[in-house]
Amino acid sequence: MTALPTTLAPPARSLVAMPDEDLPARFAAGDDRALRDAYDEFGAIVFSYCARSLAARADAEDATQQTFVAAWQGRARFEPDRGSLAGWLLGIARHKVADVVRASVRRDDLVGRQSAVLTDDATGASDAVLDRLVVARALHALPDEQRRVIELAFFDDLTHTQIAQVLELPLGTVKSHVRRGLLRLRSGLQEVDR
Domain boundaries, the chain: 23-118, 122-193
pLDDT band at residue 131 using 50, 70 and 90 as cut-offs: confident
For residue 184, the model assigns a pLDDT of 87
Using alpha carbons only, what angle is made at residue 86 by residues 84 and 89, rounded to the nearest 5 degrees?
Answer: 110
For the domain bounded by 23-118, which CATH number is listed?
1.10.1740.10
For residue 189, the model assigns a pLDDT of 78
DSSP 79: -
Beta carbons within 10 angstroms of residue 148's beta carbon: 17
Instruction: Quickly list H helices, the chain.
Output: 23-29, 32-53, 57-73, 85-119, 122-140, 144-154, 160-167, 171-193
Architecture per CATH, domain 122-193, reads as Orthogonal Bundle (1.10)
- Statement: residue 59 has pLDDT above 50: yes
